[in-house]
Amino acid sequence: MTRVAAERAPESLRADAGDSSDRAARLAVLKAKIAGLEAEGTGFVQPGRPRLAPRAQKGAAGDCGPLAQFQAQAGLHDLRPETYLDAPAAYAFAVRWLAGLPGDRLLVWVRAAGESRLDFGAPCPDGLNQAGIDPGRLLRVDAKPGAEALWAMEEALKAGALVFGEAGAARGYDLTASRRLHAAAKAKGGQILVARAHDAEGTSAALTRWRVAAAPGAPAPWRGAGGLWGLGSTKLIAVLERRRGGAPDRFELEWDDDALRRLEPAALADRAPQAATG
Does the pLDDT value for residue 122 go beyond 90? no
Q: Identify the CA nearest to 235 among candidates 259, 208, 269, 205.
A: 269
| pLDDT greater at residue 26 or residue 150 | 150
Average pLDDT over every residue of 213-222: 77
Q: Own/partner pairs for 240-246, CB < 8 Å, 24+ apart?
A: 240/70, 240/208, 240/209, 240/210, 241/209, 241/210, 241/211, 242/206, 242/208, 242/209, 243/70, 243/207, 243/208, 243/209, 244/207, 244/208
Tell me the pLDDT tens digit for each residue of 183-211. 999 999 999 999 998 888 888 999 999 99
User: All domains of the chain, ordered by start, with CATH?
Assistant: 68-219+231-255 (3.40.50.300)
Average pLDDT over every residue of 155-173: 91
Tell me the pLDDT tens digit for each residue of 2-52. 333 333 333 333 334 445 557 777 777 776 766 665 554 433 333 333 333
> What is the model's pTM?
0.67
Does the pLDDT value for residue 240 go beyond 90? yes
pLDDT category at 74 given cuts 50, 70, 90 is very high
